[in-house]
Amino acid sequence: MAEAPHSTIGTFTPYKAFTREEWAKLRDVTPLTLDEHDLKELQGLHDKISLAEVQDIYLPLSRLLNLYVEATQRLYRATQIFLNDHTAKVPYIIGIAGSVAVGKSTTARVLQALLSHWPSHPKVDLVTTDGFLYPNRILEERGLMKRKGFPESYNARKLIRFLADIKSGLPEVSCPIYSHLAYDILPDEQQVIRQPDILIVEGINVLQGHSSASGKGKAASEVYVSDFFDFSIYVDAKESEIEEWYVERFKMLRTTAFANPNSYFHRYSGLSDEDAVETATGIWREINLRNLKENIQPTRTRAHLILTKGADHAAVGVKLRKL
C-alpha cells in the first residue's frame, strides 16, 4: 500500500511571513514623502522612529493599502452602478490594535501622513477608541477605574454606532474626545469626521469582541467593532520589551505631562527613579499586562497584518494574511 502523503494541517498558517529585508523590497518605487522634521511631529514620547523605518516598513505598507483602497473603491463603484445607487462615498476603515506602549499611535500617525499623499485618497482621518471609554464618573460608579482599557470600560454601543454611521456615508459623524492630561472624556468637545477617503481607528481594543448585543441569547444579532474594518493591523512585541517601554515612558512623563498641575497623574511627578520604576512596574503588571494577556493578545490572529517590533522599536518582521 502506498504511503499516505504527509499532512500539512498541523503547520498551516493563514499568514505569509516576511523578514524586514523581504518586506522592504516591496516598496517598489513608492516615494518618501516625509522628512526628519515630519517624523519628530509624528512619533510618540518614547517610540522613536527613523526614516529608514519609514522606508523599509511603512512605505511598502502604504503601497499595499493604497492598492487595497483603490480596489475596494472600484468594487464599490461597480456595485453602485449595478444598484443605480447614488449615495455618497464610503470611507475605507483601517483598524490598528496592540498593547499599551507598543507604539500604535505612532504607527497610526505615520500611516495617516503617508496615505494622505497618495493622489486617490488625500483625506485621511484618525480617531482613537479612547474617546469611547466611559467617563470616569461612570467607571467609578461601576468600580472599573482599575480596569480602564478592559472591554467593559468602553461604550461599545456608541463606538459601533459611530462606525455604522461612517460606513453609511453620512456627511458628518461626531465622536467624543479623550484627554490624557485629565484622564477623562472632555464633556463639551467632539471630533467631527466629514467623509474621509480613509479612516484609521486606533486603540488597544479594536480587535476585541466588543458587541452591540446585550444579555444572553443575542449571538445571532451581534455586531462587532472589527466587522467595520476593511483592513486591520496588530502591532506586536515581546511582553518583556513592552514592559520596559512602558516603564521608560512613565519615567519620562514625570518631567513632561505629569509635571502639569492639571494632570490626573501629577502626584507621580516627584517620584525618584527607583520609586517611578516600582510604581510603573506595579501598574503594568496589575492592569496592562493582564489586559494584554486576557483581551488584546488573543485577538492578534484576527488582524490582516501583524507588525512585529524588536527591542529597539524597529520592526523585525511582517506577517500578511493570505487572501
Instruction: State the DSSP string of 174-236.
Output: EEEEEETTTTEEEEEEEEEE---SEEEEE-TTTTS--BS--STT-GGG--BGGGG-SEEEEEE
What is the structure's pLDDT at 160? 95
- Map residue 76 onto helix, strand or coil: helix
pLDDT of 89: 74
> What share of the chain has pLDDT > 70, as a percent?
91
Banded pLDDT at 216 (limits 50, 70, 90): very low
As a CATH number, domain 93-107+119-212+222-321 is 3.40.50.300
Higher pLDDT, 236 or 28: 236
Q: What pTM, to 2 d.p., does this model score? A: 0.91
Residues 112-157: tens digit of each pLDDT: 999 999 887 789 999 999 999 999 999 999 999 999 999 999 999 9
Contacts with 148 (C-beta within 8 Å, 6 or more apart), sequence order: 133, 139, 287
pLDDT at 162: 97
State pLDDT tens for residues 58-76. 999 999 999 999 999 888 8
User: pLDDT tier at 43 (50, 70, 90 boundaries)?
Assistant: confident
